[in-house]
């Protein structure tokens, strides 16, 4: 929650009444949290590769097991006072994914702004989880990129940026379909 508050403090410092929020991975989680807890600050959001829970529902099992293993290894290296890597950062990053977030369907139902829920068909977030997020946001739109992975923002930025840019520029579409 602290990072969410920090973002709102920046928005306030810049004297913005509201803004577009685009986030990838943990940033996607932050986009959802901003829309849930600070709805007046978010005009539209894009949540790419976000998860709601720190478990094998929100992440594929192989990935969840890997991050726990990496966190334990970082713990061991810190205990040994090893300085070959910044183990504290590795530990904190993996702890964050291992123990956070905890966002419920009821939380998602609070979101009133349009949200583009994005992922890929080769992501670390199960497609079913992405669909769950989309289905619980009344003004949600869904985009699953084919043949891409969690790093599409780095590996194919033109694709990602063109889709998110178009979404943010265009009026929201989909309410009539979602009411059925």
Model-level pTM?
0.90
Domain annotation covers residue 135: yes
Q: Which residue has the tokens 């996607």?
A: 28
Q: What is the mean pLDDT of each run of 10 residues along the chain (180 residues)?
A: 93 96 96 98 98 90 90 96 95 88 97 97 95 96 96 97 97 69
pLDDT of residue 128: 96
Q: Supply 90's token pair.
A: 């590795």
pLDDT of residue 179: 52
Query: Is the preceding omega at residue 101 within 30 degrees of 0, hence cis?
Result: yes
Q: Are the CB atoms for 36 and 101 separated by under 8 Å?
A: no
Asked whether the CA dihedral 133, 139, 145, 149 is positive or negative, the reply is negative
Pair (87, 109) in one structural domain: no
Q: Are the CB atoms for 81 and 7 separated by under 8 Å?
A: no
pLDDT of residue 177: 61
Pair (42, 107) in one structural domain: yes
Containing domain of residue 149, as a range?
A: 2-53+102-171
Pair (82, 114) in one structural domain: no
Q: Are the CB atoms for 53 and 103 separated by under 8 Å?
A: yes
pLDDT of residue 180: 46
């Amino acid at each position: 929650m602290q990072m969410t508050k920090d973002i709102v403090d920046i928005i306030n410092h810049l004297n913005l009444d509201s803004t577009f929020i685009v986030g990838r991975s943990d940033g996607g989680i932050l986009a959802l949290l901003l829309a849930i807890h600070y709805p007046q600050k978010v005009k539209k959001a894009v949540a790419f590769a976000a998860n709601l829970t720190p478990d094998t529902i929100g992440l594929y099992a192989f990935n969840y097991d890997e991050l726990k293993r990496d966190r334990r290894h970082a713990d061991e290296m810190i205990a040994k006072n090893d300085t070959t890597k910044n183990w504290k950062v590795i530990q904190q990053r993996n702890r964050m994914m291992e123990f956070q977030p905890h966002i419920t369907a009821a939380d998602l139902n609070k979101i009133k702004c349009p949200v583009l829920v994005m992922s890929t068909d080769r992501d670390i977030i199960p497609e079913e989880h992405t669909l769950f997020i989309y289905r619980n946001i009344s003004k949600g739109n869904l985009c699953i990129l084919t043949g891409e992975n969690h790093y599409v923002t780095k590996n194919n930025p033109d694709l990602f940026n063109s889709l998110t840019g178009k979404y943010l520029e265009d009026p929201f579409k989909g309410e009539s379909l979602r009411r059925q």
